[in-house]
Amino acid sequence: MGNFDRKIEIFFEYMFQKEGYNMVVEGLWNTVLIAVAGLLIGILIGTLIAAVRVIPKYNVIPRILNGICSVYVSLFRGTPIVVQLLLFYYVLFPLIGVNITSVNVSILVFGLNSGAYISEIMRGGILSVDAGQMEGGRAMGLSFSATMMKIVIPQAVKNIIPTLGNEFIALIKETSVVSFVGATDLYKAFNTAGTNSYEFMVPYLAMALIYIVMVLVITLAIKLLERRLRKGDKSM
Amino acid sequence: MIRVCNLCKQFGDNVVLDGINLEIKKGEIVVILGPSGSGKSTLLRCLNCMEDPTSGNIFFHDVDIADMKVDINVHRQKIGMVFQHFNLFKNKTVLQNMTLAPVYVAKKKCRKAKMRKFFHRSYNSEDIRTLKEIKASAEETAFEMLDRVGLREKADAYPSTLSGGQQQRVAIVRALCMKPDVMLFDEPTSALDPEMVGEVLDVMRSLAQEGMTMVVVTHEMGFAKEVASRVLFIDEGIVLEDGTPAEIFDSPKAPRLKQFLEKILT
């Protein structure tokens, strides 16, 4: 293993003496930023789409909205996220003449993409809430949207927290493709470290370790969150 | 108070209500009887448009609420409804369950009044209140109501921790918090353990004595005989018989009703 010791030495030398850690910090920050911001945008979009898709379809307007939403979902679920990134960064934004950084494009695309997935998760969550809850609200004279926001969605969210956590974990790992549009993420940082020090083994191992630690932290956070929400269920 | 004209309701090809005509006056306690699948629950649910009628009109205070253009939410605030499965909001405490809708309505009224004030139009100055005042008055009413069913100490409990009978009593007073003109009961005791039926019927009885207009779908014949001012017998989507409890139970005319009573009372 003498060889491996040397590799570790090279890695630490590159990281700390040649200040390679700067890029890793930046990459880690971007990875977390893209995943968290993407998830938040995704939850917002997903909840909205899910709410639209469960509106009873008697009238024309809900039908049109529903059509738009299902096209959106099939578009974003039907193409790989790399393709979406490339299309947004190299086609859409240049076409409309907007200058945007690759990190911001990544946040946007990950938000839009996870919105499509979360909408289905959320729709499942809403459908899992007893229909009587909606009836109870409507019978008291609350509007559909008020009942949705105050009664149904809070209960749906509690039901889907584990699945949502899954989505977040998938998201944080998927961010490793943002280097396709030149954003510095964890993968890019360690890949650069490997390229510059002519030694890939240790940087890639370190990268895997950081991903695993992040996912473990998220798993723990979800567990705690879930426990807290369930507690509110049964208190007193 | 409620007038139903030629009400029809179909689910697909299945005709559930076939031309119902009905008038419910203020203070009446109408019990609707009928075999299962006769359409009695559907009729009740049509009265506040929880089911949209296929055709026909439902007049509540002389407004046709079956008309899709009418803002049904405003009218539903004055029609209380109690369900077989309580339908208390599981993510809210008992107190929150009871104040949610009154606060929501008061806030809406307040916003509207402020708008009218802004545009120098006439408005009801009582409608403009702070959120704190709105909440306080809603809670005051809620506690009064909880006192009347003896559940004040359960105000901060979640519905899942209450027994069925307690949940249904909360559901009844939750509807009362809106100060409704009429209360609809959709088999309020069918999902309860037998020992809890009494406590719920007691609440309904006292409500009846106060002169609340009530429409009740139930299988509790004792309650119907004792409390109802009028009994309807429905079968296959039409009103077969309509009369006082004495007329219905002691001298039934329709053969179908005779058959029904024989089965139930033996």
Q: Is B100 on the interface with A (CB under 8 A)?
A: yes
Nearest to A236 among B77, B104, B157 (CB): B157
Residues of A in contact with B88 (CB under 8 A): 136
Q: Is A145 on the interface with B (CB under 8 A)?
A: no
Classify the C-alpha dihedral B106-A132-B223-B231 as positive or negative: positive
Q: What is the dihedral of CA B122, B125, B131, B132, to 10 degrees?
A: 180
Q: Give me the residue label for tokens 């749906």.
A: A156
pLDDT of A233 over the 70 cut: no
Question: Helix or strand or coil: residue A191?
Answer: helix
pLDDT of A62 over the 50 cut: yes
Spatial separation of the C-alpha atoms in residues A50 and A33, rounded to whole Å? 25
Q: Is B112 on the interface with A (CB under 8 A)?
A: no
State whether ipTM is beyond 0.85.
yes
Residues of B in contact with A155 (CB under 8 A): 90-91
Q: How far from the centroid of its chain's Cα atoms is residue B64's Cα?
A: 18
Residues of B in contact with A139 (CB under 8 A): 48, 50, 76, 79-81, 83, 87, 175
Q: Give me the residue label for tokens 């695309």.
A: A109
pLDDT of A133 over the 90 cut: yes
Q: Is B157 on the interface with A (CB under 8 A)?
A: yes
Q: What is the per-residue pLDDT for B67?
A: 85
Q: What is the per-residue pLDDT for A234?
A: 54
- Backbone conformation region of residue B43, classed left if phi is above 0, alpha if psi is from -120 to 50, else beta: alpha
Spatial separation of the C-alpha atoms in residues B201 and A234, rounded to whole Å? 28
Cβ <8 Å between A139 and B74: no
Q: How far from the centroid of its chain's Cα atoms is residue B206's Cα?
A: 15
pLDDT in tens, chain B (266 residues): 899 999 999 988 899 999 899 999 999 999 999 888 888 999 999 998 888 899 999 999 988 998 888 889 999 999 999 999 999 999 999 999 999 999 999 999 899 889 888 888 888 888 888 889 999 999 999 999 999 999 999 999 999 999 999 999 999 999 999 999 999 999 999 989 988 999 999 999 999 999 999 999 998 888 998 899 999 999 988 899 999 998 888 888 888 888 888 888 76
Among the listed residues B97, B83, B203, the one whose alpha carbon sits nearest the alpha carbon of residue A135? B83
Q: What is the dihedral of CA A115, A120, A125, A127, to 10 degrees?
A: 140
Q: Give me the residue label for tokens 């938040």.
A: A40
Q: Give me the residue label for tokens 């008061």.
A: B106
Angle between helices B164-176 and B131-148 (to 10 degrees): 130
Spatial separation of the C-alpha atoms in residues B234 and B215, rounded to whole Å? 14
> CB–CB of B215/B30 below 8 Å?
yes
Classify the C-alpha dihedral A125-A126-A130-A136 as positive or negative: positive
For residue A95, what are the contacts with CB-CB under 8 A and spacing of at least 6?
Answer: none
Residues of A in contact with B73 (CB under 8 A): 138, 141-143
Q: Which residues pair with B242 in a beta bridge?
A: B232
Cβ <8 Å between B104 and A146: yes
> CB–CB of A173/A215 below 8 Å?
yes
Q: Is A154 on the interface with B (CB under 8 A)?
A: yes
Q: Is B132 on the interface with A (CB under 8 A)?
A: no
- CATH of the domain spanning A2-235: 1.10.3720.10
What is the H or E stretch that residue A110 is in?
Answer: helix A102-128
Q: How confident is the model at residue A5 (pLDDT cuts 50, 70, 90)?
A: confident
Q: Is B54 on the interface with A (CB under 8 A)?
A: no
pLDDT of A231 over the 80 cut: no
Nearest to B105 among A135, A141, A150 (CB): A141
Cβ <8 Å between A140 and B87: no
Q: What is the per-residue pLDDT for A236?
A: 38
Q: How many CA atoms lie within 13 A of B235 on its CB side?
A: 12
Mean pLDDT of all residues in A41-49: 94
Q: Is B60 on the interface with A (CB under 8 A)?
A: no
Query: For residue B92, how many other CB atoms are within 10 A of its CB?
Result: 18
A vs B: CB pairs below 8 A? 76
Beta strands across the sheet bearing B79-82: B79-82, B182-186, B213-217, B29-33, B230-235, B238-243
Residues of B in contact with A132 (CB under 8 A): 83, 85-87
pLDDT of A47 over the 70 cut: yes
Nearest to B48 among A137, A139, A234 (CB): A139
> CB–CB of A56/A126 below 8 Å?
no
Question: Helix or strand or coil: residue A77?
Answer: helix
Q: What does each C-alpha distance from B97 to A40, B29, B48, B135, B170 come to in angstroms? A: 29, 26, 20, 13, 9
Exposed (0-12), middle (13-18) or buried (19+): which is B160, by Cβ within 10 Å?
Answer: exposed
Spatial separation of the C-alpha atoms in residues A207 and A200, rounded to whole Å? 11
b/e sequence B185-219, b meaning 16+ C-beta within 10 Å: bbbbbeebeeebbebbbebbeebbeeebbbbbbbe
Mean pLDDT of all residues in A182-198: 88
Residue pLDDT, tens place only, A143-178: 999 999 999 999 998 889 989 999 999 999 999 999
Q: What is the per-residue pLDDT for A2?
A: 61
Cβ <8 Å between B83 and A236: no
Would you list the DSSP string of chain B?
A: -EEEEEEEEEETTEEEEEEEEEEE-TT-EEEEE--TTSSHHHHHHHHTTSS--SEEEEEETTEETTSTTS-HHHHHTTEEEE-TT----TTS-HHHHHHHHHHHHHHHHHHHHHHHHHTT----GGG---HHHHHHHHHHHHHHHHHHTT-GGGTTS-GGGS-HHHHHHHHHHHHHTT--SEEEEESTTTTS-HHHHHHHHHHHHHHHHTT-EEEEE-S-HHHHHHH-SEEEEEETTEEEEEE-HHHHHHS--SHHHHHHHHHHH-
> CB–CB of B146/B93 below 8 Å?
no
Percent of chain A at pLDDT above 90?
61
Cβ <8 Å between A141 and B101: yes
Spatial separation of the C-alpha atoms in residues A185 and A105, rounded to whole Å? 13
> CB–CB of A33/A107 below 8 Å?
yes
For residue B50, what are the contacts with CB-CB under 8 A and spacing of at least 6?
Answer: A135, A138, A139, B81
Angle between helices A201-234 and A21-53 (to 10 degrees): 40
Q: How confident is the model at residue A235 (pLDDT cuts 50, 70, 90)?
A: very low
Spatial separation of the C-alpha atoms in residues B149 and B146, rounded to whole Å? 5
Q: How confident is the model at residue A4 (pLDDT cuts 50, 70, 90)?
A: confident
